[in-house]
Chain A
Amino acid sequence: MNDVLEALVKIVGKDFASNHHEERYFYGRDPGLMTPHEADYVVMPKTTEEVQQIVKLANKEKVSIVPKGAGLALTGLVIPLRGGIVMDMKRMDKIIEVNEGARYVVVEGGVSNGALRDHLNKHYPDLRHSVPEAPPITTIAANVVIHGQGRLTNQYGFNSDMVNGLEVVLPTGDVCKIGSCSVGPFWFSKGPPLPDLSGLFLGWLGTTGILTKVGLKLYPKKKMKDLEILVTDKEDLIPYIIYKITHTEMVEDLAIWAQERPLMFRGNYHINIFLTADSEDELEMKRKMVYDSVQAYVDSRDAGFMTINLDMRHDFMDNPQKSMTAFADVRKGGGFEYAGPIIPMELYPECARKVAELAVKYKVVYGGSGRVIHGGHCMMFSFAYTFNRANQDEMGRARKALHEAAEFVADKGGLLWKPNIDEQKIMMERMDPNTLELMMSIKKLLDPNGIMNPGNWEAR
């Protein structure tokens, strides 16, 4: 046994540290299109103290560390680009506290979205968190680190906006609390009225520290929910329609989708309007307000509400939406990846045309979807392409389509979400130099030995 493995075993026990090729291989890749790179070690800590010891060991040995949740960002963010230790956080799976009155939860860094959803359903039926459409094994911590979104994003913003406090193991191995939990027992604020230090960790893709605890806001869970789907074949109208609907402030979630398979959907843009309420009267009132807000488009026959069959309703109401994951195998190839830039609403029509145009150019199948963020200040637009994992040529074409999509959106002024290392470069190349300098200075200050997820957010 080599020295690093021996030290890891001493920290977490022999069952939870490995340098076997099976783990090095699997943890060296993700389901997306980025080039794999094998880990040297995989370790699964159970406590914050174990995380601290591992980080201190990594500093001493100058070995890099990549913290990992489920590894489903699809953009290679947990591929250990320079080898080293992949730290699988999923054994840190305790839901520590739910403060029902203040509507927040505190979870360990490996708690999954599925586990929290179930815990709230069973024990706090009036509360919910913003469940992403990603598979339920995805972790709360990883989701906020990448500025993920969920079912409540239209109402309350990015899931990272819902953070109420953090416990972070810094790249030096010290533990730091962020927000109200740093001065008292409560986790009701991630910063305000103090300086908001959560920004040192959210969006940094694990390069500035490891989240071992997350405080997260919870929201009222309404007794009933419903779905309406408005369809138009005019992508140019989408920003206006969204503006009208969001003006009502009646909608839980707004998602827009367009896809070429099955063929009946081709050429149309579907706006999923999710409504929630505590009574039939409230639901009816919200539904009426939404109808009224788009009546002009219906009257002009530019848009109409579609009939939703039972299976489709079930699929869309499901949260997380299992059918979204099934997109990966729509052509029996087992792969899909998406570039998901954050864009102002007005860029929707151009993006909607581009996703289809790139699919033709690179001979791949597309899905284009968007999710409105925080009442319409911006949206996430997903350029999604499927690929056959056994077809290297098709994988290469999908990769090119995604890269071209990223450059297109960046040129238009969009921000690349959970960017892979190439997309990070695209962002940094276009970034104000002083902003970039500030980012690099912060990173260097926090991680002097450059051990945290190296290769990410690195300027030349």
Chain B
Amino acid sequence: MASDQPSNPQDGLTTTRDDSLVKPIIVANSTWTPADPTAYNGGQPPQITHLRELELGDKSDNGRWGALDVIPTKADYVLDLIRINSLWPLLSGLACCAMEMMSAATSRNDMDRFGMFPFRASPRQADVLIVAGTLTTKMAGPLVRLWEQMPEPKWCVAMGDCTCSGGRYKRSYATVEGIDRVMPVDVYVPGCPPRPEGLIYGMMKLQQLIKERRGHWPERHIGPTVPIGV
């Protein structure tokens, strides 16, 4: 289930569109040829050999970490509504986006109003992992370890272009293109860096998502939402 599609589309927001006029325009790539001829045919699964333990064998959370020992109960349906207003982020500012995250947390654009003031230092006490900044292959291991140390329920926000898809470092030899290759992501906040208001919008989207998905948080997938070969 894609994480950005609500289960119950609200009435009044659906419109009938004439799709014949808005067909996507596909331009064949003629400016360069990829070195790998199978690049745009589904390609190969990313062999992140350096991070072999994190290979994308299983797409669902359950398979990856064994059967989830935490079973969401009926209480979680209500508790998720309460958790929305007190999501505690983990300080995971890696690079420039961390500056905007801190800016979103301080006086002018205040995230404290949403309950997100205490940026916990320890992953054991955090709810949300806001990954802000480029993820390099060296840092990927520690970051995934942080993610795994966070207790359920936990959510992940990919802030900035570098975490969404690799951004300006997509062709670099030392970065992971998008953290969705190594951890499940709930909200993508694009921008380089996104404005603090953008991050706050992303967090509000996360609140909406938790509300709509309440009780169903184990069902998430790791994997890029962009085709592998791109």
Bound together: no
